[in-house]
RNA sequence: GGGGCGGUAGCUCAGCCGGUUAGAGCAGGGGACUCAUAAUCCCUGGGUCGCGGGUUCGAGUCCCGCCCGCCCUACCA
């Protein structure tokens, strides 16, 4: 146990601006990264951009600019989205720029070659530029690429091939033994049945002509560049300094407890079959988890540029704020299945859960401590059934949310956290502190003290619990209690250190949003 | 064609190896309260659990067939 966790997003092509699907994967990976970090792991969260793609070359040609110019321009939108969504990305790989990546991909290729897994042969196939992938006739729909609905081009040239076929048994073994877990289980079934169906060797290079001279050269053959997926997959180790045998590589990959890839359902095969096989060939440890999310539809329709229904996540953040977007993506969209986006639903969940639920709870608690005890958290008195029930809910929500996150299920985690939000609100009404405050007998005052202490404890715990999902709100809540995340531990008794603390009436953490009227 | 995953209250979903009157959140209806972001709390859910058979003392929960949606995979004519 090294206590280290590696988590990555896929690296998108930067031939266009990011859409909501990118945002989904980003926040899912970010929540997991923050979760593990909070559990005490040393976490490295990596993202990046896939720039060596023919798709980028063609987009640039259409715009009449250089490929370099295109990727340099577009990558900024992704970096900006990462900021807008408040992601704690530790390292961002640019595959056409980073020297570690370019050298690393080359070294990776050499290792596969050394294992005897690379050979060249004449090949002819139907290639979809949009997918950067060869298709068999049978996979086409009316002769067109099923993803892009364009006619693939017939390509014939000498290419290098990877002996994927050799790794069929080994891959089944790592997946079935659980060494490489694919989430959810249904996706794992897909992968194993695909492998059982037989693995053919795959083309891993293309002529420099077809690539328009863009891409990472194949070592020892200036006429060929690497197939974009081959260099792209190696970004995960290259971003850690694989080629330099860097300390980061040893720590966050080779010796890490968890090596996690968050991916979309469209690229499972690359991450759960090709990439592990490449790693086996290069004799590098495999990922431990591949977590597969679905796609986001918009009012039931697939996001597509031609339909003009692409939602710009950056714009969305500007309209409703980072918390609303993060919360919606994490709490409402299934982590594993396709989800539907609707602005109305996003606003509705924000208002009911964040503004009316948690936000209002923080307001009323801080307000009562300020009003009834001059902002000083009191010592508690005798504990009764209602207090114990609250304590139990704190423990249950904490345990359940933590366990859910270890299953990559942020939606479930948030649901269990909100059990505590509701329970705490109900606890307040059950105690009616405003009545206790008016009663001047000692007994009532003691109950009030106990109640306020427990409330502050619950709010503190909630602030801690939401930190992977809503980091800035978490800071705000803990800040209003004079706490920072670092000073709060799950291990310590949950009311420790609270009596005597000075707190202030918190400003609205989640101001209500108005539904867009149109 | 083969395989997989879904089809549960208006909406989004829970329901593990079959077992008392099928659940949650939101929305809707009624009531209470005032600390709070007109927020909160309490009460309120007669849903053919896609359809039809079957196994069982008993089935959303297992078996068979069918319908619908999505996905993976392959082409037998």
CA of A429 and C1' of B33: distance in angstroms?
Answer: 8
A426 touches strand B (CB under 7 A): yes
**pLDDT at position A136:** 65
Residue A453 lies in a domain: yes
Report the candidate in A40, A43, A39, A42 with the shortest Cα–Cα distance to residue A8: A43
Going A94 to A96 to A100 to A101, the CA torsion angle's sign is: positive
The answer to whether residue A309 scores a pLDDT higher than 70 is: no
Residue A241 lies in a domain: yes
Among the ranges given (A412-426, A429-443, A481-495), the one the predictor scored with the smallest mean pLDDT: A481-495
**pLDDT at position A410:** 92
Residue A263 lies in a domain: yes
Q: Which one has a higher pLDDT value, A186 or A204? A: A204
The answer to whether residue A514 scores a pLDDT higher than 60 is: yes
Do residues A240 and A246 lie in contact, with contact meaning Cβ atoms separated by under 8 Å? yes
Q: Which of A19, A101, A261, A454 is catalytic?
A: A19
User: Same structural domain for residues A351 and A460?
Assistant: yes
**pLDDT at position A369:** 95
CA of A353 and C1' of B27: distance in angstroms?
Answer: 14
Report the candidate in A183, A193, A192 with the shortest Cα–Cα distance to residue A336: A183
**pLDDT at position A139:** 62
A348 touches strand B (CB under 7 A): yes
Domain boundary pick from A323, A339, A355: A339
Q: What is the CATH number of the domain that holds A304?
A: 3.40.50.620
The answer to whether residue A141 scores a pLDDT higher than 70 is: no
Question: What 8-state DSSP symbol labels residue A510?
Answer: S
Residue-range definition of the domain harbouring residue A20? 4-339
Q: Catalytic site residue A501?
A: no
Can you tell me the mean pLDDT for A80-85? 95
User: Same structural domain for residues A226 and A126?
Assistant: yes
A435 touches strand B (CB under 7 A): yes
Give the nucleotide with minimal C1' distance to the Cα of A369: B35
User: Same structural domain for residues A332 and A375?
Assistant: no
**Average confidence score pLDDT of chain A:** 88
A484 touches strand B (CB under 7 A): no
User: Same structural domain for residues A404 and A471?
Assistant: yes
Do residues A86 and A112 lie in contact, with contact meaning Cβ atoms separated by under 8 Å? no
Considering only CA atoms, name the residue closest to the C1' of nucleotide B70. A338
A496 touches strand B (CB under 7 A): no
Domain boundary pick from A288, A305, A339: A339
**pLDDT at position A341:** 85
Q: Catalytic site residue A91?
A: no
A300 touches strand B (CB under 7 A): no
**pLDDT at position A218:** 94
User: Same structural domain for residues A297 and A199?
Assistant: yes
The answer to whether residue A486 scores a pLDDT higher than 70 is: no
Q: Catalytic site residue A128?
A: yes
Residue A509 lies in a domain: no
A334 touches strand B (CB under 7 A): yes
Q: Which of A35, A145, A271, A454 is catalytic?
A: A145
CA of A294 and C1' of B73: distance in angstroms?
Answer: 19
Q: How far apart are CA A23 and CA A292, in angstroms?
A: 14
Residue A517 lies in a domain: no
Q: Which of A84, A148, A438, A501 is catalytic?
A: A148
* pLDDT tens per residue across span A374-386: 999 999 888 999 9
Domain boundary pick from A295, A313, A339: A339
User: Same structural domain for residues A299 and A362?
Assistant: no
Q: Check residue A245 and give left, alpha or beta (phi > 0: left; psi -120 to 50: alpha).
A: left
**pLDDT at position A132:** 64
Residue A500 lies in a domain: no
Q: Which of A35, A84, A101, A128 is catalytic?
A: A128
**pLDDT at position A517:** 42
**pLDDT at position A137:** 64
User: Same structural domain for residues A405 and A450?
Assistant: yes
A360 touches strand B (CB under 7 A): yes
Give the nucleotide with minimal C1' distance to the Cα of A138: B75
| Total number of domains in chain A | 2
Strand B near-CB residues (< 7 Å), A 48-77: none
Q: Catalytic site residue A145?
A: yes
Reported pTM: 0.92
Can you tell me the mean pLDDT for A13-24? 88
User: Same structural domain for residues A154 and A91?
Assistant: yes
Q: Which one has a higher pLDDT value, A368 or A298? A: A368
DSSP β-ladder status, A221-226 and A217-218: antiparallel
pLDDT bin (cut points 50, 70, 90) of residue A367 is: very high
Taking every pair of Cα atoms in chain A, the longest distance, rounded to a whole number of angstroms, is: 93
Q: Which one has a higher pLDDT value, A440 or A379? A: A379
CA of A36 and C1' of B3: distance in angstroms?
Answer: 36
User: Same structural domain for residues A97 and A195?
Assistant: yes
Residue A504 lies in a domain: no
CA of A498 and C1' of B71: distance in angstroms?
Answer: 52
User: Same structural domain for residues A289 and A140?
Assistant: yes
A510 touches strand B (CB under 7 A): yes
Q: For chain A, give the percent of residues with pLDDT over 70.
A: 90
Residue A516 lies in a domain: no
The answer to whether residue A149 scores a pLDDT higher than 90 is: no
The answer to whether residue A456 scores a pLDDT higher than 70 is: yes
The answer to whether residue A305 scores a pLDDT higher than 90 is: no
Question: What 8-state DSSP symbol labels residue A64?
Answer: T
Rg of chain A taking only CA atoms, in angstroms:
26
**pLDDT at position A85:** 95
List Cβ neighbours of A225 (8 Å cut-off, separation of 6 or more). Answer: A52, A205, A206, A208, A211, A213, A214, A215, A216, A217, A218
A355 touches strand B (CB under 7 A): yes
Q: Which of A131, A251, A265, A505 is catalytic?
A: A131
Assembly ipTM = 0.89
Q: What is the CATH number of the domain that holds A464?
A: 1.10.730.10
A414 touches strand B (CB under 7 A): no
CA of A194 and C1' of B66: distance in angstroms?
Answer: 28
User: Same structural domain for residues A244 and A352?
Assistant: no
User: Same structural domain for residues A292 and A353?
Assistant: no
Can you tell me the mean pLDDT for A404-413? 91
């Amino acid at each position: 146990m090294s206590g280290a966790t590696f988590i990555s997003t896929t690296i998108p092509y930067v031939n266009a601006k990011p859409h909501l699907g990118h945002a989904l994967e980003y926040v899912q990976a970010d929540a997991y990264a923050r979760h593990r970090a909070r559990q005490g792991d040393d976490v490295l969260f990596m993202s990046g951009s896939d720039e060596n793609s023919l798709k980028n070359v063609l987009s640039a040609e259409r715009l009449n600019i250089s490929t370099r110019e295109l990727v340099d321009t577009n990558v900024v939108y992704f970096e900006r989205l990462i900021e807008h969504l408040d992601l704690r990305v530790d390292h961002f790989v640019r595959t056409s720029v980073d020297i570690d990546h370019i050298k690393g991909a080359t070294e990776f290729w050499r290792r596969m070659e050394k294992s005897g897994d690379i050979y060249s042969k004449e090949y002819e196939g139907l290639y979809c530029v949009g997918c950067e992938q060869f298709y068999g006739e049978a996979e086409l729909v009316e002769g067109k690429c099923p993803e892009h609905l364009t006619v693939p081009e017939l390509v014939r040239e000498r290419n290098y091939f990877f002996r994927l076929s050799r790794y069929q048994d080994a891959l089944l073994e790592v997946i079935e033994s659980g060494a490489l877990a694919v989430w959810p289980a249904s996706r794992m079934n897909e992968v194993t049945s695909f492998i059982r169906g037989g693995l053919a060797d795959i083309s891993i290079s293309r002529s420099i002509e077809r690539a328009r001279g863009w891409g990472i050269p194949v070592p020892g053959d200036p006429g060929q560049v690497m197939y974009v997926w081959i260099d792209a997959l190696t970004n995960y180790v290259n971003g850690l300094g694989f080629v330099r045998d860097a300390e980061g590589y040893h720590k966050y990959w080779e010796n890490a407890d968890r090596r996690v890839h968050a991916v979309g359902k469209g690229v499972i095969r690359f991450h759960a079959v090709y990439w592990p096989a490449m790693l086996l060939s290069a004799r590098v440890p495999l990922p431990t988890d591949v977590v597969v999310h679905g796609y986001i539809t918009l009012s039931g329709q697939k996001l597509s540029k031609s339909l003009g229904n692409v939602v710009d996540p950056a714009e969305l953040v500007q309209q409703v704020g980072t918390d609303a977007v993060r919360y919606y993506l994490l709490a409402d969209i299934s982590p594993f299945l396709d989800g539907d986006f609707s602005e109305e639903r996003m606003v509705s969940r924000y208002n009911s859960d964040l503004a009316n639920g948690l936000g209002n709870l923080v307001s009323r608690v801080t307000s009562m401590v300020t009003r009834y005890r001059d902002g000083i958290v009191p010592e508690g008195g005798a504990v009764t059934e209602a207090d114990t029930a609250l304590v139990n809910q704190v423990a249950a929500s904490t345990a359940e949310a933590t366990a859910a996150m270890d299953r990559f299920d942020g939606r479930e985690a948030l649901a269990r956290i909100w059990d505590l939000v509701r329970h705490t609100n109900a606890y307040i009404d059950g105690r009616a502190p405003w009545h206790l405050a008016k009663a001047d007998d000692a007994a009532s005052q003691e109950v009030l003290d106990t109640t306020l202490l427990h409330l502050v404890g619950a709010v503190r715990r909630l602030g801690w619990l939401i930190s992977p999902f809503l980091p800035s709100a978490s800071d705000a809540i803990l800040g209003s209690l004079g706490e920072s995340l670092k000073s709060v531990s799950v291990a310590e008794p949950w009311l420790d250190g609270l009596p005597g603390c000075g707190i202030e009436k918190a400003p609205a953490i989640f101001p209500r949003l108005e539904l867009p009227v149109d």
